[in-house]
Amino acid sequence: MPSRSRGLARSGGLARYGGLTASRGLAVAWAALVAGTLTLVAMVVLMTPWHPLPGARLAPAVVTDYFTPAQIARSNAFFADIRWPSWFGLALGLAVVVALGLSTLGRSLVGIVRRRVHRWWLQVICLVVLVSLVQRVVTLPAAAWAQGVAHAYGLSTQSWLSWGLDVATSFLVTVVMTAVSLLFLVGLARRFTRTWFLPAAAGAGALVIVASFAYPVVIEPLYNSFTPLPDSPLRSQLLKLADRDGVQVSEVLVADASRRTTALNAYVSGFGSTKRIVLYDTLL
């Protein structure tokens, strides 16, 4: 009887301890959520260019001042046609997420991997590959439909072989980036079972910075070749514009986008010393 009493007392103590730990964990989670929300709001308030042109009023551009009625009609027709494969692809992607996340299919897939692969990090990689492959295969018809529409309107200059290579490259990039992120997350959850979300939040911020720094020099060259824009009035104007807006860029590059598209585009990518202005060669 005394031993039973001691056992009950011990169990009650463990229950109270577990309750206090759970309550403390919940409090920490709420505190982290509130702190993150306040930080996000502060960043939006402080970093949004609420007045991009101080002392000037922005007037909406009149489309007919720059394009003919025929060009406007063709643009409207393109967006009307591309809308259907875009929505179709979105629906297929959501269907895959629902099927794997809210049905026995996802549980069965995890069970198969866990029975055949015993190391947790290999399980993560295998599941990332399998889920990404299912997602890519299921949504491929919608992507091919969209590519056909772009061909029909003269926006795409790619052969189907070249397009297929781009799809394969995008799949590999997605797998690698997703696997790295999930290995980091699952590893933290295994190491810090109660407070994993705190180092995960800090690590996610660091990962975004690293990815922003590396993307222009690691990922973008997988799709395009880049050459420096020679000294010219255009280059000087772009650097002057960037300097006026407080954007420090390391160089101005030209991408060989014409082997894929006839579209016009320019953008800024990178972070720190890798930040650059990129022009599509279709602009030149």
Confidence of residue 16 (pLDDT cuts 50, 70, 90): very low
Number of domains the chain is built from: 3
DSSP E strands in the chain: the ranges are 226-228, 251-255, 266-269, 276-280
Segment 142-197, tens digit of pLDDT: 999 999 999 999 999 999 999 999 999 999 999 999 999 999 989 988 988 888 88
Segment 91-118, tens digit of pLDDT: 999 999 889 888 888 889 889 999 999 9
94, 133: one domain? yes
Which residue, 154, 175, 209, sits at the end of a domain? 154
Mean of pLDDT over the chain: 85
In a domain, 125, yes or no: yes
118, 176: one domain? no
In a domain, 16, yes or no: no
Q: Tell me which of 19-23, 60-64, 100-104, 112-116 is least confident.
A: 19-23
In a domain, 215, yes or no: yes
Give CA–CA dist 88/263, Å, rounded.
23
Which residue, 175, 193, 222, sits at the end of a domain? 222
168, 122: one domain? no
Task: Look at residues 110, 158, 160 and name the one whose alpha carbon lies nearest to residue 140.
Answer: 160
182, 207: one domain? yes
Structural domain harbouring 256: 226-283
206, 218: one domain? yes
Which residue, 121, 154, 187, sits at the end of a domain? 154
Sheet with 251-255, side-by-side order of all strands: 226-228, 251-255, 276-280, 266-269
